[in-house]
Structures are given as C-alpha cells and as structure tokens.
C-alpha cells in the first residue's frame, strides 16, 4: 500500500502545472489569494473588480440583481464570498439555465478562470465571505487519509455515499458524485454550502479536517483508485451487485444450462 | 476405474481392485441394491430442469468457501485499532470482525477471491432458488406427489434469505450494521415482546458486544445445518418421485423419458458443477462485491446514502419504504404500524407462496399424481396469479431501491415512493388481467394450429383469383403434444338433496370453492381444447391442401 | 425435436425394441388422431456414424482437460509469484488487485474447462438414445397399507398405551415440560429492557462536543445553514460502551433564522436559532442527517422519512411515525453550548412501552 501514499504526489504535480498556467494567463491569481499575499497590487485588484462588475452585469445581474442584492430569481450574493463564486461559476452551475429542475446541475464552464477570478473579486467586494482556498489548504501535504475517512462518514457519506458516489435527496434533488471533482471546489463547497448542501465552516470543521476529507476522497474516488476486487459496479452497493448477479451471474449460468441440456446436432439424413 | 480396464482384468480371471472394493462395501452397506435402483435412473433433458442444480452447486460452493473463510475470520466485537495494509483505514477503531475481514481481503493471498466467490455465489444461490421456484410454479410441478418437496424448497429459500442476511452482517461494516440496526428497529416494533426480543438478541442495548458472535453461530452452524438437511431431503424426494417432464410423443404420466444417470447425467450434472463454479470464479476475478474497506467500520451514528440490503432482502426493504408512518398511541402503549405492518406483510406474502399447492389442490379436488408438466398457458389462472405475485415482488424491489432509481433516472424519490404505493396494489391486478388474456390468446392459437394446421407463409392464388395461405397439417407428434393437457370442469356444488330427499346444508367453504373453481375453469377462463370430432370434421371438410 | 424430417408413417414402426415396451403407445388412426405416437426413432449424431468426427470430439474433450491442468499450474504460479498488494490496470475494469485477477481467472478456467470437457464428452460421445423408465405409484398398494395399519395397531395394543391412560398422560406431560428448560436457559441472553431505551447520556450541564474537532461548541461557531454533529461531553471513542451510548446520544445541530422556526416549543428549546435534534431516525434508527439547508428538511437515507427541522422536526414524508426528539440547549457561564437536560422522550425507533 506504499503506492497510495506515493500517488498522493501525482495530483499535486498536475495542480502545480495548472497553477503555473493560470499565472501565465493573467498573473491574476496572486491578487485574490488569501490575506497574506493580498497586499500585492491594489491597482490590479481594483482593475479585477471593475472587470468583474462588467461580467456580472452581463451574466448574473438579471437574476441576482444589479448590485448583487438578489431577486425572486436568485439569492443575494452579498457576503457569500469569493469561494462561493469560484465554486458556482467554476463548476458551471452558474449561470444557471433559465428553466431549472429541482436543482442546478454541474455544466460546461463558460468563463475562463481569469474571468471567474474577476467575478469573485467583484462579489467579494460586496461583503466579506470565505475566500478562495489556496493549494496549501486543500493539497494532500500533511493530510490524514484515515481521519478523513472517519470525518467523511460522519459528515458527508449520508448524502454523498461511502466513497462519494452521490445519492438522492427529496423531490428530485440529489447530492452529486464527487469523482474527480477539483479539490479546490470540494473545499469551497464545504465552506460555502452551495444550494441545499449545508455548510461546514472552519469553526465546526477545521481546515485540517477539510484537507483530510479531500485526501480521503482522492484515495477512494478518483480515476486512480484501486478496486482490488475488480469492476466497481458504480460503487453503489447491493442494488448494482444484485442486478449484476441476476443478469450476468444467473444469466451466464442459464446460458450454460441451455447448452448442457440441448440436443446434440443430428447427422444429416441421407 | 475405466470400464475397459475392468473387462480386461476380468478376462484374466482376477477381479479388479475397484470391483473388490465395491464388493467389500456391498457386504457392509448394501450399496448394490441402492445402485440397482439409481445408477441408471432416467433424467429428462430440459434447460429449466437445471435451475435446481444451479442452486445446489452454488450452495456447495458457499459451504466450501465459507469453511475457508472461518479459518481467518474472528467473530468478535472487541474494538481494535487497525494497522493492516489498507491505508485509508489505518489507525481507525473497528471491531475485530471488521479488521479480520480486511485481513482476509488484503493480506491473505486469495482471501479476497474466496470472499468474493462466497458472496457472489450467495447472491446467485438465492436468485437461482427464486427462478427455480418460479419454474416449478408455472409448470405446475408442485402438484401431487411433490407438495412436500415444494415446502422443502420454500423453506430453503426463506432460510437462505436469513442465512444470507446473517452472513452479510458479520463483517460489521457500516452498510451491514445499518441493516442490523433496521432489523433491531423492526423487532422493537413488535407489540409486547419487541423490546424483550431485542434485548435478548443483542445481549442488551443495540449494538452491544454480542451480535456478531451470535449471528456467526447462526450463519455457519444453525441455518446451514438445517438447510443441508433440507437439501438432502429435497434431493432424495427428487430421486424418489422421478423427475417431471413436458408432454410429448412417448411421454406419459406413467413414464419418464430421458438419459441415464450413468454415464450421461453423471457427466452432465457433474460437469455442470464445475461450470457453475468456473463462472462464479471468473465473475469474482473481475467484479468486486461488498468492498467493506470502502464502506468503513460500523458506528451507529454514521451512515451512507444508498443503504440497501442484498437483493433477496430488497423485498422487505421495499415494503418498509413505501409504508406510510402510522403509529397508534393508546393507554401508554405504542403500536408501530408503520414498521409492524410491513413485517407482517413480509410473512404473509411468502406464506402465500408456500400455501399455493394446497390451495390449488383444494380447488381442483384432484387427488391423482401429476408427472406431466403444464405449459403455463394451459393453466391461465395459476399463471396469472403467479405473474401477479412476481409483479408485486418486483414492485417492492423497485421500492427498495427507490433512491438509486431516483438518482440514475433523474426522478423524484417521493414520486417513486408514491408510484410504488399505488402499484403495489394496482400492478398485480393489471398483471393478472394481462397474463390471463395472453394465456387465453396462446391457447386459441394452439387450437387453431391443431384444427387448421401451421401457417406456412406460402401464398397461393386460386384459379378464380382468390389468394389463400397454405396451411400445413401438423404431424401426429405435434397434434399429440398440443392436445395432451387436461382441462378441469369447474367444481359444482354437489347434490343438495340426498337420496332420501333430505336437504343438506351447503357449507360456506363449499360455496367458496365452487366460486373460485369457476374463476379458474369456468366459461371464458380457458379455451376448450379441440376435440377429436372437431378435428375430423374440419380435416374431412376441406381435405387436401 | 427434429421430428419434422421423418416421414410420418415410419414413426411407430422404427421404434427401438426396448422403448416400445413402455408407455401408452397407439398408432394414429381414424379413432384418435391425437393419440401418442410414442417416442420418435433415435437419430444418429455425426459422431455416431463418422469415426473422424468422434475423434475430433475426443481431441476437443482432451484439449479442455489439458487447458484445465495448465490453468491450475497457472493458479499456483500466480499464488507464488504475485505479491498480494500489487495492482494492475486492466481495460475496461480499471485498477484492480493483480493477484485476485490472476487467481480468479486461472481457477475459473481450470474449473470451467473440466465442466465443459465433461459435458462435451456426454453430448457427443456418450449414448444419446432416449430411454423411458416406468413410474410406480408413490402410495403403497392396499395390501401393504392394510398390513402396516394392522402392525401399528398390534404394536399400540401391546404397549397398552391406550389402556393405561395414566402412563400416557404423564408421559405427554413430561415431554411437554422438558423443552421448557431449554427456553429458561435463554433468559440470560440479555438483560430486561427496563427503562434503558428511555435515557441517553445527555443531562443538564453536559457540553455539546463537536464530533469533528472534539471541542465544545460556542454559539458563534454555528453558522446559519451549517450542519454539525455533537456527542455529550465525556464520551470518548475508546470507551467500552461508546457504540451503545452514541447510538442514542448522537446529536445534529443546525442553525435557523429564528423567524423561520414555526414551532413554538422548538423556538423555546433552541438558542439563538440553534436547534439540537436527535440524529437517530424515529423509524428504525438509522442516523438521519441528509439536511437540506434551504428547505430545512432532513431525509433519512435508509427509508426516506423526511422531517421538517423548522417545524418541530415533524414527519412530512415516509414511514416514520413521530417527530425527531429535540434536545433543550442553552449556553453556560463560559459561553459554551450545553444541554439543559436529557431528551424528554425516548430517541430512536418506537416500541410497545414507549407510550
């Protein structure tokens, strides 16, 4: 099982590459990183807020109001923080389709990360709220996977299933599958409680707790997860196992039985 | 010992070793008399007759792999800290039962394979029993003299469910623990005795420290012991009654047509064991089942969505999920109908299955032995009742998995629950009506085939311009097969006046029986099979095609 | 059946001698065109008449048995050489244990080919002549029946069980009573229920300890829309009775806007909109906690009972029979959330004595 711990480093590498790419695109990331770096360049930040305001007016204001105060079509965004914007827009949930079902689904992201950061900067300027986490916060460094598993089963599994495969809520709502969701987005979701998900603020679920949970999820629900027994069957438990046993297990055995009991071909009559 | 060797050595005048051993054993066990009756026993060939073998073999596989698992499993609820090779659980507190299951899965070479074979074989065993029972039901193989064997089979199915459930609970993982919690809640709902049974079963409050050890002895000793006895009894009766067969040329109620046990069925049935084992082993090589490590150890304050029992308990799960939350509080006592009614229904629905052969024989009043199987269409009411039962069962299964249907088909869990609430009652009625109509349609088609021959698809133009399809008369084999079944007359209430002119009272049960019998066999409940006279009239009428 | 290609008039005549002896056989005649024509004549398989075909079958069977032997060798080789913790990627299955995969496939092959060989042998080389066997009635003939009845009566009379009623009755009494010992012995399976299901560890002054951080909670820690789980102060995971206690004491903490709370008692028992409910479903005891922060509904993942946390946790859907019990909470001198007593009603599933 040494491999598991070795593999932790793998996504980190990918993230570093991603971050470098972001830095190259706009050099904007640093501007919105948490407090310690925030003193960086005030002009860059106000520029971002300006840009974000423009994007907001076009893409968001029709539902959330011109100043983010909310309307009958969308909640107020004052005080939701940059983290909420980064999650909602970064996973494609926002902007939502005009006719929504029970819940706004994950979609194709239509803004670039730079634009999302500008939007986030604007919303954050409306009222203080959770900031976008840094890689140091959600990265695998120093995480306790086993503790994360315990926390996940206490706080998350009831909606998202043992290994984060998702599950049903009332009246068509659902908790989504967490496979290969960006760790940053998982962190933000816990902080901000998007849609019907309750929030798990740092005061009740510490930063270290969140890090542990993310590391656990990566270990058990990513494309690198080892399922020693073979096909995972969706990781849904006895329902998919039962269907498999009936269709493929009993199905194969009945096919064999048909062969065993069938008459052997007769010689052609001459 | 091969036969060629035997004959050769006999020529040399000295009995071969095998024969001498057999003689020795016969002198002590009388095996020759046993072999005389059974060695060349005839078994008919039909794939559906092998469903029982699927069950028998998966049962044997379960016993073999189960014994292996007991060598490594610790049925203890002592809390230990895990330090095995599965990283995401290291340092976690868990019961010894759970940690030894992890040990089997990760550290015993081949342990995971055996665990998976054991569990897959269990699911297939129960699925096999279900289908086998349905085969027996829909072909009427449960009729005299096989009613007791039906009960044996029924008991095996029910005990199999509970053996499966207790086994599923042993690893003490979060999923099975949730199932055990549900069981405890259901026990608590029983009026008067509920709390006592719960305390006695769990050795105190839930979960306590005892249930794994107790379930273990139930799972590996008590239930399989009874089941083994029933399996042996079931098989002895199959041998004793001789297998049923479908109607056909040369097959009658007085014979059984097929191939001898030695050698053909020895090879086919023996070979089938290996085929079943092989298929299950391959499934276990590539398909994961019950990954307890991903599920985590049981804690009564933790849970996962999508908590389901194994499929054979899904029926109970469905009943409990669609039940409204009724609860009556009176005189300081609580009647938990929301849980207790499903518990009772569970028993009633299964008992209906067990009782059916006796109900049907009461309705038909038929005391004869039946060895020729019915085609389901020729017993339309029975078939329709069976399909209605299966429909109800399947609807509760849908109800038991409502959360997964909701997420995977983007439906509302509440709508599915309402659907199940309604179709639990409506579904079987629709299924009954549809099935009966289909059966009668098929009976009509058989009748037409007998009287008018098979449609050949060849169109002929007659001299005066009319187009007709050529019907080819059936062979005598086909005629016989399609007309071999018997049709009952509805039972009439016997004479109400005896020979002395004294009026007797007609009992209620007699009236009821006449009524049900009319629903089974009355007018329009079955299509009269063609009579010889009808056939002759038609065939002589427009003679040769 | 392949009876179509047999000329009909031949059927009864061609029957094998030993088959002819069985069954009600009648030739189709003017009287009954539906009569049983008897077993169709045996037709040869290609293996029966062509020795080359039979040889091919023989080689196929031997090949299958050989594959089985090789697979068993493969099984042992895999067992010895593949480490238990090695994982491989197999398309389309994914990452899986190399050992399980290799052992399962080799074992499966070894078994399957034995079966396939045996069945192929039976199907192509063993005789496929259908044989009819007579059935005999299951019930004994009348004379046997009479003899058994007579023997039984003789035995019963000799035992005098019918005449000496005192013996009979006391024997039945003894046999009825003796299993009672077995029942009595079950008494110590567990304690009596008493009022065990009515009490939890919660008591006045017990702090609400956050399950995640193991720290007591302050009201300011609990944000509106958040979800937190608590255990009573003093209960540790290593405790002997942790599982039993947490099964009753598990607590779910959410914070609502006080205006959103519809139930008067709920508001009274809350602290600044913070409400504490039992995490144990009142249906059959699953830990219920699928909290939807916008609707304030909480759903049970086991049987979908739905409770409205803004309205006294009343049941609004599903099979649960009564609301989730609420724990009355307040704040102690140091500013931590504390219980103001135990639950006022039993937590978890209902039972007969609950009342």
Residue A270 lies in a domain: no
Q: Which residues of A touch B280 (CB under 8 A)?
A: 249
Q: Which residues of B touch A4 (CB under 8 A)?
A: 87-88
Structure tokens at C9: 């008039």
Residue B282 lies in a domain: yes
Task: Suggest the residue from B202, B278, B319 to mutate for an interface test with chain C (most C CBs closer than 10 A).
Answer: B278
Clarify whether residues A194 and A159 are in a common domain. Answer: yes
* pLDDT over 90, % of chain C: 81
C320 → closest Cβ in B259, B325, B337: B325
Q: Which residues of B touch C301 (CB under 8 A)?
A: 303-307, 403
pLDDT digits (tens, 9 = 90+) for A121-165: 999 988 888 899 998 899 988 999 999 999 999 999 999 999 999
Clarify whether residues C238 and C215 are in a common domain. Answer: yes
Q: Is A160 marked within a binding site?
A: yes
Number of domains making up chain A: 2
Number of H helices, E strands in chain C: 8, 14
Q: What is the mean pLDDT of residues B190-216?
A: 94
Number of domains making up chain C: 3
From A179-183, A250-254, B212-216, B275-279, the region with the lowest mean pLDDT: A179-183
Asked if the model's pLDDT at residue A6 lies above 70, the reply is no
Number of domains making up chain B: 3
Q: Is A24 marked within a binding site?
A: no
Residue B363 lies in a domain: no
Q: What is the mean pLDDT of residues C232-257?
A: 93
Q: Is A60 marked within a binding site?
A: yes
∠ at Cα A239 (B304, B337), nearest 5°?
Answer: 70
Chains linked to C by 3 or more Cβ pairs within 8 Å: A, B
Task: Show the 3-state SS of B84-113.
Answer: CCCHHHCCCEEEHHHHHHHHHHHCCCCHHH
CA–CA gap between residue C75 and residue C107 (Å, rounded): 6
A169 → closest Cβ in C43, C213, C290: C290
pLDDT at position B541 is 60
pLDDT digits (tens, 9 = 90+) for A19-35: 445 444 444 444 444 44
CB A194 within 8 A of CB A93: yes
CB C87 within 8 A of CB A3: yes
Clarify whether residues C108 and C72 are in a common domain. Answer: yes
Clarify whether residues C315 and C247 are in a common domain. Answer: yes
* Chain B residues 299-338 within an 8 A CB cutoff of chain A: 299, 301-311, 314
Record: contact C87-A205, CB cut-off 8 A: no
The alpha carbon of residue A115 and the mean position of all alpha carbons in its chain are separated, in whole angstroms, by 19
Chains linked to B by 3 or more Cβ pairs within 8 Å: A, C
What residue of C is the nearest CA neighbor of A199? C226
CATH number (domain holding residue A184): 1.10.760.10
Q: CB neighbours of A7 closer than 8 A, spacing ≥ 6? A: A224
Minimal C-alpha gap between C270 and chain B (Å): 22
Clarify whether residues A248 and A212 are in a common domain. Answer: no
pLDDT at position B463 is 87
Minimal C-alpha gap between B434 and chain C (Å): 30
pLDDT digits (tens, 9 = 90+) for B112-162: 999 999 999 999 999 999 999 999 999 999 999 999 999 999 999 999 999
pLDDT at position A33 is 44
Q: What is the mean pLDDT of residues C302-315?
A: 93
Record: contact A209-C101, CB cut-off 8 A: no
Chain B CB within 8 Å of residue A6 CB? no
Structural domain for A257, as ranges: 236-264
Residue A102 lies in a domain: yes
pLDDT at position B456 is 83
Phi-psi region of C205 (alpha: psi -120 to 50; beta: other; left: phi over 0): left
Residue B92 lies in a domain: yes
B523 or B482, greater pLDDT? B482
CB neighbour class for C60 (10 Å; exposed up to 12, middle 13-18, buried from 19): middle
B324 → closest Cβ in C111, C237, C319: C319
Sign of the torsion formed by the C-alpha atoms of A181, A183, A185 and A187: positive
C108 → closest Cβ in B278, B332, B475: B278
Clarify whether residues A62 and A33 are in a common domain. Answer: yes
Record: contact C292-A196, CB cut-off 8 A: yes
Clarify whether residues B258 and B193 are in a common domain. Answer: yes
pLDDT digits (tens, 9 = 90+) for A47-79: 888 899 999 988 888 889 888 888 888 888 988
* pLDDT over 70, % of chain C: 92
Residue B351 lies in a domain: no
CB C99 within 8 A of CB C107: no
pLDDT at position B458 is 85
Residue B44 lies in a domain: no
Q: CB neighbours of C341 closer than 8 A, spacing ≥ 6? A: C202, C203, C204, C328
Structure tokens at B400: 């038991």
Nearest to C354 by CA among C279, C252, C282: C282
Asked if the model's pLDDT at residue B64 lies above 70, the reply is yes
pLDDT at position A10 is 52
Clarify whether residues B65 and B18 are in a common domain. Answer: no
Beta strands in chain C (DSSP E): 87-90, 94-97, 131-134, 208-210, 227-232, 251-255, 274-278, 290-292, 297-299, 306-308, 314-317, 326-327, 329-331, 337-339
Clarify whether residues C66 and C155 are in a common domain. Answer: no
C34 or A10, greater pLDDT? C34
Structural domain for B148, as ranges: 51-343
Q: CB neighbours of C176 closer than 8 A, spacing ≥ 6? A: none
Torsion of CA B209, B212, B217, B218, to 10 degrees: 120
pLDDT at position B542 is 54
SS3 C290: strand
Asked if the model's pLDDT at residue C21 lies above 80, the reply is no
What average pLDDT is seen over chain A?
83
Q: CB neighbours of B101 closer than 8 A, spacing ≥ 6? A: B73, B115, B170, B171, B172, B173, B292
Given the DSSP bridges, would you call strands C227-232 and C208-210 parallel, antiparallel or unpaired?
antiparallel
Asked if the model's pLDDT at residue B74 lies above 70, the reply is yes
What residue of B is the nearest CA neighbor of C348? B185
pTM over 0.80: yes
Asked if the model's pLDDT at residue B385 lies above 80, the reply is yes
Structural domain for C156, as ranges: 136-176
B302 → closest Cβ in A153, A171, A229: A153
Chain A CB within 8 Å of residue B169 CB? no
Q: Which residues of C touch B109 (CB under 8 A)?
A: 79, 84, 99, 103
CA–CA gap between residue A56 and residue A50 (Å, rounded): 10
The alpha carbon of residue B434 and the mean position of all alpha carbons in its chain are separated, in whole angstroms, by 23
Clarify whether residues C278 and C225 are in a common domain. Answer: yes
Clarify whether residues B203 and B237 are in a common domain. Answer: yes
CB C78 within 8 A of CB C25: no
CA–CA gap between residue A124 and residue A135 (Å, rounded): 19
Nearest to B383 by CA among B421, B313, B327, B439: B439
Clarify whether residues C333 and C203 are in a common domain. Answer: yes
Q: Which residues of B touch C354 (CB under 8 A)?
A: 329, 333-334
SS3 A20: helix
Nearest to C319 by CA among B526, B317, A43: B317
Q: What is the mean pLDDT of residues A117-123?
A: 91
Chain C CB within 8 Å of residue A238 CB? no
Clarify whether residues A99 and A191 are in a common domain. Answer: yes
Clarify whether residues C98 and C223 are in a common domain. Answer: no
B348 HSE (CA, 13 A, CB side): 8
Clarify whether residues A212 and A254 are in a common domain. Answer: no
Chain A CB within 8 Å of residue C97 CB? yes
C95 → closest Cβ in A1, A151, A226: A226
- H or E stretch covering B48: none
Q: CB neighbours of C106 closer than 8 A, spacing ≥ 6? A: C71, C72, C74, C75, C78
CB C274 within 8 A of CB C255: yes
pLDDT at position A40 is 54
CB neighbour class for B411 (10 Å; exposed up to 12, middle 13-18, buried from 19): middle
Clarify whether residues C201 and C334 are in a common domain. Answer: yes
Q: What are phi and psi of C246, to 5 degrees?
A: -70, -25
Q: Which residues of A touch B83 (CB under 8 A)?
A: none
What average pLDDT is seen over chain B?
91
Clarify whether residues B18 and B61 are in a common domain. Answer: no
Residue B425 lies in a domain: yes
């Amino acid at each position: 099982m040494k491999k598991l711990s070795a593999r932790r480093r793998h996504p980190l590498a990918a993230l570093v590459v991603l971050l470098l790419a972001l830095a190259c695109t706009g050099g904007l990331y640093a501007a919105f990183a948490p407090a310690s770096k925030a003193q960086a360049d005030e002009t860059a930040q106000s520029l971002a807020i300006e840009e974000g305001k423009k994007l907001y007016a076009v893409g968001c204001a029709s539902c959330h109001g011109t100043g983010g105060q909310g309307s009958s079509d969308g909640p107020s965004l004052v005080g939701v923080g940059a983290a909420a914007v980064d999650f909602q827009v970064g996973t494609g949930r926002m902007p939502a389709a005009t006719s929504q079902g029970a819940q706004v689904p994950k979609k194709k992201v239509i803004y670039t990360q730079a634009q999302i950061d500008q939007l986030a900067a604007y919303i954050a300027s409306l009222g203080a709220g959770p900031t976008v986490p840094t890689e140091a916060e959600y990265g695998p460094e120093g995480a306790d996977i086993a503790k994360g598993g315990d926390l996940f089963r206490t706080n998350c599994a009831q909606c998202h299933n043992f290994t984060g495969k998702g599950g049903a809520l009332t009246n068509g709502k659902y908790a989504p599958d967490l496979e290969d969701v960006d760790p940053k987005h998982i962190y933000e979701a816990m902080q901000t409680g998007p849609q019907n998900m309750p929030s798990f603020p740092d005061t009740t679920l510490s930063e270290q707790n969140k890090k542990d949970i993310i590391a656990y999820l990566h270990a058990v629900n990513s494309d690198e997860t080892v399922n020693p027994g073979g096909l995972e069957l969706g990781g849904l438990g006895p329902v998919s196992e039962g269907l498999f046993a009936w269709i493929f297990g009993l199905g194969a055995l009945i096919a064999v039985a048909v062969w065993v009991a069938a008459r052997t071909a007769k010689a052609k009559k001459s | 010992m091969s036969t060629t060797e035997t004959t050769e050595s006999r020529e040399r005048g000295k009995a071969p070793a095998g024969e001498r051993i057999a003689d020795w054993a016969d002198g002590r066990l009388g095996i020759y008399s046993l072999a005389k009756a059974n060695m060349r026993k005839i078994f008919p060939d039909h794939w559906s007759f092998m469903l029982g073998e699927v069950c028998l073999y998966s049962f044997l596989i379960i016993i073999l792999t189960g014994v292996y698992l007991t060598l490594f499993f610790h049925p203890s609820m002592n809390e230990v800290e895990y330090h095995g090779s599965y990283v995401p659980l290291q340092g976690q507190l868990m019961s010894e039962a759970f940690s030894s299951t992890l040990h089997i899965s990760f550290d015993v070479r081949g342990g995971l394979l055996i665990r998976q074979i054991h569990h897959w074989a269990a699911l297939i065993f129960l699925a096999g029993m279900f289908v086998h029972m349905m085969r027996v039901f829909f072909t009427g193989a449960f009729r005299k003299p096989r009613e007791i064997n039906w009960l044996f089979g029924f008991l095996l199915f029910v005990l199999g469910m509970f053996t499966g459930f207790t086994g599923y609970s042993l690893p003490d993982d979060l999923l099975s623990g949730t199932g055990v919690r549900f069981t405890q809640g259901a026990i608590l709902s029983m009026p008067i005795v509920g709390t006592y049974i719960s305390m006695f079963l769990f050795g105190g409050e839930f979960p306590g420290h005892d249930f794994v050890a107790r379930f273990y002895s139930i799972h590996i000793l008590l239930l399989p012991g009874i089941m083994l006895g029933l399996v042996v009894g079931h098989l002895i009766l199959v041998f004793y009654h001789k297998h049923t067969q479908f109607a056909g040329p040369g097959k009658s109620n007085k014979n059984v047509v097929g191939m001898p046990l030695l050698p053909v069925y020895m090879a086919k049935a023996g070979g089938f064991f290996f085929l079943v084992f092989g298929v299950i082993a391959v499934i276990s090589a590539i398909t994961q089942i019950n990954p307890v490590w991903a599920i985590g150890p049981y804690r009564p304050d933790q849970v996962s969505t999508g908590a389901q029992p194994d499929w054979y308990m899904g029926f109970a799960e469905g009943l409990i999920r669609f039940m409204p939350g009724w609860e009556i509080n009176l005189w300081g006592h609580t009647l938990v109908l929301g849980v207790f009614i499903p518990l009772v229904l569970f028993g009633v629905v299964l008992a209906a299955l067990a009782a059916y052969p006796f109900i049907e024989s009461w309705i038909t009043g038929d005391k004869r032995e039946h060895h020729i199987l019915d085609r389901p269409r020729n017993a339309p009411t029975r078939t329709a009742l069976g399909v209605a039962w299966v429909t109800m069962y399947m609807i509760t299964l849908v109800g038991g998995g409502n959360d997964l249907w909701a997420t995977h088909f983007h439906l509302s869990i509440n709508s599915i629950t309402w659907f199940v609430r309604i179709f639990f009652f409506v579904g079987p009625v629709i299924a009954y009506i549809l099935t009966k109509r289909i059966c009668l349609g098929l009976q009509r088609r058989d009748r037409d085939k007998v009287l008018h021959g098979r449609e050949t698809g060849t169109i002929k133009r007659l001299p005066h311009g009319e187009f007709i399809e050529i019907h080819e008369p059936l062979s005598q084999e086909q005629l016989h097969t399609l007309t071999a079944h018997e049709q009952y007359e509805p039972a009439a209430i016997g004479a109400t006046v005896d020979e002395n002119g004294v009026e007797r009272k007609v009992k209620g049960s007699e009236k009821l029986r006449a009524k049900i019998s009319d629903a089974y066999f009355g007018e329009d409940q079955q299509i009269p099979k063609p009579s010889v006279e009808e056939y002759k009239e038609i065939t002589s009428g427009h003679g040769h095609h | 059946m392949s009876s179509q290609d047999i000329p009909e008039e031949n059927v009864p005549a061609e029957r094998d001698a030993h088959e002819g002896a069985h069954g009600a056989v009648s030739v189709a005649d003017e009287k009954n065109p539906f009569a049983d024509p008897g077993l169709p004549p045996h037709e040869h398989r290609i293996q029966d008449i062509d020795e080359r075909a039979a040889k091919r079958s023989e080689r196929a069977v031997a090949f299958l048995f050989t594959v089985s032997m090789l697979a068993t060798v493969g099984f042992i080789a895999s067992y010895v050489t593949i480490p238990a913790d090695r994982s491989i990627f197999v398309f389309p299955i994914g990452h899986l244990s190399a050992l399980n995969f290799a052992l399962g496939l080799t074992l499966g092959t070894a078994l399957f080919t034995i079966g396939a060989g045996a069945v192929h042998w039976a199907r192509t080389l063993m005789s496929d002549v259908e044989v009819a066997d007579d059935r005999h009635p299951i019930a004994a003939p009348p004379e046997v029946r009479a003899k058994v009845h007579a023997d039984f009566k003789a035995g019963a009379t000799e035992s005098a069980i019918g005449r000496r009623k005192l013996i009979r009755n006391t024997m039945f009494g003894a046999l009825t009573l003796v299993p009672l010992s077995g029942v009595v012995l079950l008494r110590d399976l567990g304690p009596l229920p008493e009022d065990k299901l009515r009490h939890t560890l919660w008591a006045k002054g017990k702090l609400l300890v956050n399950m995640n951080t193991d720290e007591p909670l302050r009201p300011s820690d609990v944000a509106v829309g958040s979800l937190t789980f608590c255990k009573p102060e003093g209960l540790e995971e290593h405790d002997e009775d942790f599982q039993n206690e947490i099964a009753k004491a598990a607590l779910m903490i959410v914070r609502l806007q006080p205006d959103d709370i519809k139930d008067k008692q709920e508001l009274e028992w809350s602290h600044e909109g913070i409400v504490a409910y039992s995490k144990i479903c009142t249906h059959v005891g699953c830990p219920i906690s699928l909290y939807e922060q916008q609707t304030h509904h909480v759903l049970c993942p086991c049987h979908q009972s739905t409770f409205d946390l803004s309205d006294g946790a009343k049941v609004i859907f599903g099979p649960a029979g009564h609301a989730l019990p609420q724990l009355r909470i307040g704040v102690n001198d140091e500013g931590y959330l504390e219980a103001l007593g135990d639950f006022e009603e039993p937590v978890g599933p209902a039972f007969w004595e609950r009342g």
